[in-house]
Amino acid sequence: MEDVERTLHKMREVWELVDLNENKTGVMIERGTSTPIPQGMYHMAVDIWVKGKDEKILLTQRHPGKPWGLKWECSGGAIVKGESPMDGAIRELQEETGIKISEKELIYLGKTVMEKHQCILYTYLVCLTDDVKLNLQADEVVDAKWVEISELENMKDDIVESVWERYIQFKEKMSRQVIIRKITSTEVESAMSLALEVFMQFEAPDYAPSGVETFKKDIVENPEFLENARRGICPIYGAFNGDQIVALIGMRSSKTHINLVFTKKEYHRKGIARAIFKYLLEDVLKENPSLEELTLNSSPYGLPFYLSIGFVPLSEEQEINGIRFTPMKYVINKR
């Protein structure tokens, strides 16, 4: 029955075309028809690379009746009407391999504009922590295997050409396995070191010396806050590359106000802070399902990021004790 449902889904697949900036155009095209994509428009798709707990990479083999038949590739496919890239990635991975994941397990690697195919393609990495049983989609995939990186590096001629090109594009990022979780009591000190390092690099230049001292006194050198962080009263969520914390988001004890958001310089613009925020949101809603909004005070440097993930300003910029900030809130959509 599940295979039948998968086939019916593919038959009904409708692409919602966008422009180069991913604005919806209102134009729809059904998969498998001969209707060409109008010039200046694109369909959207996803690649999902899966890394097992033993660091091996999952490859699937295309059905011989498909283009590039019997070539190997990662999981992936087109994003259909009504889906976000993450929605599409979750669906495609489950359809093709039977692996079920949530948004928080998707690590964004990057985006590729494929002009030849009029396609905007998002690439994600999933790092599994448990063994999985594969359930392959018979009309799409005829085989699957887990390979060492060294073996994958020697498979260029056996892999779909465009997939190989994107592997080369993102393989350095794929080697950086980033895991998101709550930090432990013993990791608070390293988290505060990261916060201070990033603050001095990117936020302190916008503040008077008194603002820098206020930040240190109120957060990274505040004994009460540090003790509450160690006890989990003030939760801190971190992204880890191995044992190294590379990004974090912290909250006050109310668990309704975010007071720390910092990402190490070399991990900027990789979707990590966005992924931590989604993890945090899911976690706080488990504890408080009736929560309706989150608040924070944005620095001048952080304002564009907060706007991009859905926070809205509550007033003009303010300054207190040398700290410049814009009060913002995020309204939680529970659909």
pLDDT, tens digit, 9 for 90 and up, residues 254-307: 999 999 999 999 888 878 899 899 889 989 998 999 999 999 999 999 999 999
Query: What domain count does the chain have?
Result: 2
- pLDDT tier at 246, thresholds 50, 70, 90: very high
Per-residue pLDDT at 176: 58
**Domain termination site, one of 157, 174, 191:** 174
Q: Quick one: tokens of 283?
A: 């976690």
The Cα–Cα gap between 97 and 322 comes to 54
Q: Are residues 165 and 183 in the same domain?
A: no
Per-residue pLDDT at 5: 43
Q: Are residues 70 and 165 in the same domain?
A: yes
133 vs 12, higher pLDDT: 133
**Domain termination site, one of 138, 158, 174:** 174
- % pLDDT > 90, the chain: 78
Q: Are residues 6 and 70 in the same domain?
A: yes
What separation, in Å, do the N-terminal and C-terminal C-alpha atoms of the chain show? 28
- pLDDT tier at 107, thresholds 50, 70, 90: confident
- Contacts of residue 327, defined as CB under 8 A and 6 or more positions apart, other chains included, come to 295, 296, 297, 298, 313, 314, 315, 318
Q: Are residues 189 and 166 in the same domain?
A: no
* Domain extent for 103: 2-174
Each residue of 9-68: pLDDT tens digit?
444 789 999 999 899 999 999 987 878 999 999 999 999 999 987 889 999 999 999 999
- Max Cα distance, the chain (Å): 68
Per-residue pLDDT at 130: 81
Closest to 48 in 3D by CA, of 107, 98, 7: 107
**Domain termination site, one of 174, 192, 207:** 174
Each residue of 147-163: pLDDT tens digit?
998 899 999 999 999 99
